[in-house]
A and B are shown apart, each in its own frame.
Chain A
């Protein structure tokens, strides 16, 4: 395999990487990608670290609660201040 050819394959793979890690691609396309990854360590690392990047961000805790003062001003602005205590 010439370097130029490998490079073209790598570039092609790059374009579908995001959908690949989301599991949004057809099996036949996945097969092509996985075959290339078996032959190209560079792409394998890029795929693994991209997947890990997405996983890390997704593992972050859900949104922290809105600070109390911000929440109180929000309810006041919406004329819902009387309900603030009953809701939480």
Chain B
């Protein structure tokens, strides 16, 4: 993960002393993943751009209180997901909050799609069309599951870092991650199952 190496590169002391060049380098290194995350949570480029700007404005203002207990990336993802959810709530007030209680006692949804599509060749799994499908499948996840999946499986944070970024328990991260992955597996199985049928 590039974040790990990047983290070591920035001088917290320089940043906290107000070194503009150091801050500009930090902004430059993290703006791509933060923008992608924002876009996948809020859904529109305009809102994502606002989230991106607010994230770094808040980061700049709060640098003095950053103690380095979490990595820069986790800290930035935390600010960004918070901003993104605030934006989402303004646009869609019915959208649930990031720490909403979604755990149900019934356990997980039984898998429905049982088709082994792993055998499909890599070039078939990753055509331009399938990449678009993978992307849309994420958008269809409920926001609370989506953000966990994005941080863990797209941005590559650990379970602990994801929990820190979202201020939820590690157990909640695991539950939501499982649900997100199971829902994606259903959609992908449906999609690739049809590719197999077409090929047959």
- A contacts, CB < 8 Å to B: 11, 14-15, 17-19, 24, 42, 45-46, 48-50, 52-54, 56-60, 62-66, 70-71, 73-75, 77-78, 80, 83-84, 86-88
Contact = CB atoms under 8 A, between A and B. Distances in A.
Interface size class of B (residues with CB under 8 A): 35 or more
Interface stretch (B66-74, B77-85, B87-95, B113-121): B113-121
B118 A14 contact: no
A54 B177 CA distance: 11
B21 A75 contact: no
B134 interface: yes
A88 B31 CA distance: 12
Given A53-B181, A54-B153, A80 B27 contact: yes
A87 to B, nearest CB: 5
A62 B107 contact: no
B96 interface: no
B178 interface: yes
Contacts of A17: 178, 181-182
Given A54-B181, A60-B134, A78-B57, A66 B23 contact: no
B49 A70 contact: yes
Contacts of B27: 74-75, 78, 80
Contacts of B138: 57
Given A18-B174, A48-B118, A57-B134, A66 B181 contact: no
A53 B107 CA distance: 21
B178 A15 contact: yes
Contact of A42 (B114, B153, B185): B114
B152 to A, nearest CB: 9
Contact of A56 (B20, B21, B24, B188): B188
B105 interface: no
Given A18-B178, A74-B52, A56 B126 contact: yes
B35 A45 contact: no
A66 B35 contact: yes
B102 interface: no
B106 to A, nearest CB: 11
A86 B114 contact: no
